[in-house]
Structure 1
């Protein structure tokens, strides 16, 4: 989300977020960040929202400060390649790989000046093939108020799930036909009463028959078992409360949650145990961390890439960036 919004968000939590940097000792059950490095930093005023990784290892990032999708080679991170400027929109948000080298993303009108623009949201497809890129609209979702996190429903071909943060629902979208419908709806997805911004469910990820999710202003991390079509087939279970979460990566053992605006990455075990493994409330290491994704090549399979807004405590602003955390 736009940095001006995160000034507000950061100010709300700066007084309550912990300042401790967790550095688990070697041999502990917790992941340790053994090294970190800057992959690329965008100019001031740029907010990086979400991340996906291609099979060739290149990173794709969406921006909320402009409706642009960039590609970055993490092993040779010179000037990023602009893949596409989505004219007619103000921001891009969630992105996911729906089939090999074919990605979908959320685009719509959202900015610090205009706020949320219900009815402006659509899902787009970006397909890479032999150095060529094809951009096409999958569908408009006029009922959506603010499409944010996105994940691939791996149990059903050509299907993604996308979270409407303001509407408090998750849509399933057939990326071939453009057909969409509400797949998940629960009070736990809705914006918290009195929230300064109308944002509830934020990041979502599908893994092994479950949809995992965060809620921004009722800070929680949870999961729900789903059918092959993405409908709930069991209870919505809250795994952890009180930890601010944006988008995240999830494995069978743990989730790695971008803690915007607490400026941390939190490892959350599926029993709710949790520790911050990088950053702290005053740190610029992952300033305004928005999303994370593991590398996909032999060289970086233990690297967690982090995107940021560049905002710390509503007082410090830098250009959004991509940071690599080497984990062990």
Structure 2
């Protein structure tokens, strides 16, 4: 996801306020009881494990685990490309799709077995501006792709397209300003919800018919450029769960939810602010839900923090991992939990990075990467 400031963290929240609507587990009480309140920026716990690396200047934007094998489908914002990344580094990044008429790819989801949908359009990383009306939703079908066609080993990525992958545009977004995060609303009817970070609203897209409409337009989603040095980015990441649409707002630094109709995506009640950030140097980007009701956010500087106190409307971060000034993963853009048996055992959280152009004033001291953090070490699982 695109973020709104040069600050950044990977954050996790747990809260009684969200527990009623989020997935639960028997370990929730022990998770909430776990304390890392004494941890500071100088006392990191979790070590990064770099899985895949792209050349300098590569902005890996979004991730989704592939249900078929636990690997990851990843989008690039620095190029109009989508890759398959091995969660174990068993093969180099595999190019699945290219979109030469566009400049980058943003959110991606899986809807049905090996059927992925991605936001594709024109966003300039030089000027950090979007071209409204240039975006569309594309279908990427991996059902015809064979693992036997991959190159084994840890070699460099190839620009040769993978065999057996079918790509097609399913919808145009002519009125969108900056479509960003994606979530599946209704897999049976083919409805996706798309966050528009520039316009501060959510679009519904029927991938079967191509029909698009405004689903939700709430003030809590609106951008406010005065809060982030002139960059207007409101609602960023979205996730539908148990009748609620969960979303963050990069400019206002809030985490919110709103009840929505599971068929249309239209709001059925008022929005709630679940977390309101008081710290000027923490700005949310992408997030993911864990099985115990926790929320993990990805942001820019490469820190990982455990957040509590969400029910009070504010939260206090406790740092559990941190990147150095010039070392370690920076520019965290997306976070998703792994799905393999080994990943579940480790509590493996996979993070995409952009190399830190905002952290380091436009430079890329590190490559875009796929990085793994084993959160089970925190005692949450």
Any residues of structure 2 matched to 1:218-229 within 5 Å, and which? 218-228=252-262, 229=264
Q: What does the per-residue CA deviation read over 1:209-248, in whole Å, with 9 as the maximum and x for residues that have no partner?
A: 1111111121111111111121111221111122411111
Q: What does the per-residue CA deviation read over 1:64-84, in whole Å, with 9 as the maximum and x for residues that have no partner?
A: 100100001112344210001
Q: Match for 2:168 among 122, 136, 139?
A: 136
Any residues of structure 2 matched to 1:135-284 within 5 Å, and which? 135-154=167-186, 157-194=189-226, 195=228, 196-228=230-262, 229-242=264-277, 243-251=282-290, 253-260=293-300, 262-268=301-307, 271=311, 273=315, 274-279=317-322, 282=325, 284=327
TM-align CA RMSD: 2.8
Q: What does the per-residue CA deviation read over 1:102-133, in whole Å, with 9 as the maximum and x for residues that have no partner?
A: 11110000013352100101011111114232
In structure 1, the residue matched to 2:368 is 320
In structure 2, the residue matched to 1:304 is 349
In structure 2, the gaps of 5 or more residues are 10-30, 37-43, 146-163, 377-381
Report if aligned partners of 1:164, 1:201 keep a CA contact under 8 Å in 2: yes
**2: CA distance between counterparts of 1:298 and 1:250?**
18
SS at match of 1:244: coil
Q: Structure 1 residue 92 and structure 2 residue 140: aligned?
A: no
Cα deviation for residue 286 of structure 1 reads 3.4
Query: Are residues 178 and 266 of structure 1, via their aligned partners in 2, closer, same or farther at CA, if it must alter by over 3 Å?
Result: farther
Higher helix share: 2
Q: Which moved more, 1:116-125 or 1:235-244?
A: 235-244
Query: Are residues 225 and 119 of structure 1, via their aligned partners in 2, closer, same or farther at CA, if it must alter by over 3 Å?
Result: same
Cα deviation for residue 201 of structure 1 reads 0.7
> TM-score, normalising length from structure 1?
0.87
Any residues of structure 2 matched to 1:12-51 within 5 Å, and which? 13=7, 28-29=33-34, 34-51=46-63
Q: Which moved more, 1:314-323 or 1:180-189?
A: 314-323
**2: CA distance between counterparts of 1:30 and 1:148?**
34
Report if aligned partners of 2:79, 2:104 keep a CA contact under 8 Å in 1: yes
Report if aligned partners of 2:238, 2:245 keep a CA contact under 8 Å in 1: yes
Report if aligned partners of 1:254, 1:268 keep a CA contact under 8 Å in 2: no
In structure 1, the gaps of 5 or more residues are 18-25
Bigger CA radius of gyration: 2
Q: Which moved more, 1:232-241 or 1:120-129?
A: 232-241
**2: CA distance between counterparts of 1:110 and 1:203?**
17
Query: Are residues 205 and 275 of structure 1, via their aligned partners in 2, closer, same or farther at CA, if it must alter by over 3 Å?
Result: farther
Q: What does the per-residue CA deviation read over 1:43-99, in whole Å, with 9 as the maximum and x for residues that have no partner?
A: 001011000110111111101100100001112344210001111010100011122
Cα deviation for residue 284 of structure 1 reads 4.3
Q: What does the per-residue CA deviation read over 1:268-315, in whole Å, with 9 as the maximum and x for residues that have no partner?
A: 566365544332584743311111111111121221100011116325
**1: CA distance between counterparts of 2:296 and 2:353?**
15
Higher strand share: 1
In structure 2, the residue matched to 1:102 is 115
Number of paired residues? 313
SS at match of 2:342: coil
